[in-house]
Each structure stands twice: as C-alpha cells, then as structure tokens.
Copies of this chain bind each other. A is one copy, B any other.
Amino acid sequence: MKKTIAAAALLLCIQPIFAQRPPSISSPEVNTDNSVTFRYYSRTAQKVTLRGEFLSGPVALNKDTSGIWSVTIPQVKPDIYPYSFMVDSVEMADPNNTNIFANERFKRSIVDIPGDQPMLHALQNVPHGKISYRLYTSKTLGTTRQALVYTPPGYNPQSATKYPVLYLVHGGSDTEETWTKVGRANLIADNLIAQGKAKPMIIVMPYGNVRPKPMPDFTKDVVNDLLPFIESNYNVLPGSTNRAIAGFSVGGGQTLNIGLTNTDKFAYVFSYAPYTATEEFQRNFSNWSPDAAKLNQQLKLFTISVGTEDFLYNSVKENIAMFEKKNIKLKTHIVPGGHTWMNCRLFLGNSLQEAFK
C-alpha cells in the first residue's frame, strides 16, 4: 500500500515538465464473459468515442463525476483487435494500454480477448522460438536496415540441421515489428510447430517501406541484400523450394512483385489481400506473358487470400482472374471479414501449414 503511494508520488514528480498525469485507471479490462470495458480520463473533453475493429461503428463513452469516461462492449468474439479513442477531434491510442499497434501512421491500441480455448496466436506452454532484431547493410538502398528473424525452438547455428525460410512482409504503413507485435507470427509458428502442423522454419520479417525511394527498390533490397545476409548468417536449406514469401496489403502486392518475378528463388508465394494499384505491379503484370508451364513447375504453391468484406475484395478477385487467365495455377483462401490483422493471422496460419510440404 505504502509502495503504491510511493510509486504514484514518483510518477507525479518525475520529469515535472510532463505534468498533468491522469490517474492510473485500467483500460481495457477484459471481463470473464468476453465483454470489454474501455476507460479514459479527462475532466475537460466534450466527447469521447471508441472505434474498434470489433464494432460496426463508433460508440460513445460516458463520463462519471470523477472525470473517468467508460463503456462496456458485451460479448466480443475472442481475438486480438485494434482500437482507438476519438477525444473531441483527436484520434489517439488508449493512454492506459501498453499494447500499441506497431504502425507508422495509425496510433491505435490493441485488445486481446483470449476466450476459453487458447487461440492459435496465444502464448501456450510449448517450446518457444526466438525473435532477433538484425541490422544488415543494404547496398541497394545505401543504408543499414533492420529485419526481424524468427528462429524455431531448438535452432542451433552450429548443428547440421538446416531450415527453410519464409520472408514475411507487413502492410503499407506497418513496420518490421507488426508481424510479431500485432500478427504474433512467432507464437503462431511456435504453436503450429509444436502441434506438428508446420515444418520448423526461419521467418524473416523485413521493413517493407522504402522512402523516399520508390517501391521497386524493395524488391532489389530483398533479393540482393537481405536474402544473401540471411543465407550467410543462418542455417538455411538451399534452393527455391526452401524459400517462401508472404505479405499483407501493400506487402501482399510486394509479395506478388518479388515472388512472381523471382520464381527461381521462391517456390512458395502467399499473397494476403494484395494492394496492387502500384506502378511496379502495372509494369510487371499489365503486359505479362509468362511461360505458364515453367512457372507452374517452379511454383510449388501460389495462394491468394482475402476476406469478402475487404475493401480490396473486388480488386483481388480481378488479380485472381488475371492470373488464372494466364494459366497460372493458384489456390485461393476466401474467408469472411475485412482488411484486418485478424484475417492476417488466419492467413499466416494457413501458409505455415502449406509451406515446404
């Protein structure tokens, strides 16, 4: 009790130029019936609303006499969802939630509703792989870049055991951390490997945003800089049949660009809700006349996944029709839902079970 007061006093007096600390409130609070209570403190705000991917539209919070705004959303389907508060005119992450959506543009928080049965992305009592933050030199971009590398449980760089590699690209304004922090790629892999449903593999998560340079340079960065860095620093199985590439949204478009123009390097191409209204995609595929027989032989598996409520659904259907018209073999995963990371986790779970088989 004394400690709590002392800690509160510390928070009040630390760095006094950042004054006006709100009281310590709990938000979000996930209740046992899968309802979730969201809270926000402000004595001066006129209106506070909640926006979340578990809602069909904004919901108002109500203020009590102490300045704490709150709302309880009943029966939320267990999953991990992004949400934000709109405080008067300002959209913001929940200041009382440490779990932040890793993104360069959106400022959102994440709420994890675990449910009764452990979900595929849940931390379970299984052997855990390791995520490493690696710096590599990109000659293409003339800079040092960061990539995250998941190595599976038991990975030992000096043993004779070698692994296939999945390159996994985030969405348009996401970062190299979004696939682990929001997508839980490491835990999904841990769980599927423990269940014997996925082959132990290395997962490489690059930073896909290339600014101010145009996107095509990312293809070169992956193929000419990142791939050699991985191959010379990790125990990897050689050859295209041991390499997969996957990505979401803008990263799903990058996946098509990188994968289908480098089928000698990637035998597995998994594109999730691809955004393809880019110059690079136009250049690569508008007048494309592939040797379909050769491509189909090189590609062990090519999938496109999308939700039927995704705002890109029609565009993705056109992509699928285009590839089919060129006689490219592909498998589709059409599921309910929108352009969301809830679907990303689902798509990744599928790909991990389909790759390298």
Count A interface residues, CB 8 Å. Answer: 71
Chain B CB within 8 A of A172 CB:
yes
Whether a CB of chain B sits under 8 angstroms from the CB of A108 is yes
Determine if B20 and A91 form an interchain contact, defined as CB atoms under 8 angstroms apart.
yes
- Assess the B135–A132 pair: CB atoms within 8 A: no
Contact B107 A51 (CB under 8 A): no
In the complex, are the beta carbons of B44 and A89 less than 8 A apart? yes
Instruction: Pick out which of these stretches binds chain B: A3-11, A161-169, A197-205.
Output: A3-11
| A228 interfacial contact with B, CB 8 Å | no
Copies per complex of this chain: 2
Cα-based distance from A79 to B160 in the complex (angstroms): 45
* A203-233 contact mask (Cβ, 8 Å, vs B): 1 or 0: 0000000000011000000000000000000
Query: Contact partner of A17 among B51, B95, B98, B130, CB < 8 A?
Result: B51
Check if A144 sits within 8 Å of B158, measured CB to CB: no
Given the contacts A92-B92, A156-B158, A311-B16, A277 and B10 also touching, CB distance less than 8 Å = yes
> Interface digits, A38-63 against B, CB 8 Å rule (1 contact, 0 not)?
00001111000001110111100000
9 A/B residue pairs, CB under 8 Å, sorted by A:
A10-B250, A10-B275, A11-B172, A15-B340, A16-B311, A17-B55, A18-B91, A24-B105, A45-B89
Taking A10-B172, A16-B311, A45-B89 as given, write out 4 further A-B residue pairs in contact, using a Cβ cutoff of 8 Å, ordered by the A residue number: A17-B58, A24-B105, A42-B90, A131-B132
Residues of A that sit less than 8 Å from B by CB: 2-3, 6-7, 9-11, 13-18, 20-21, 24, 42-45, 51-53, 55-58, 84, 87-93, 95, 98, 100, 104-108, 123, 128, 130-135, 144, 156-158, 172-173, 175, 180, 214-215, 249-250, 275, 277-279, 311, 338-340
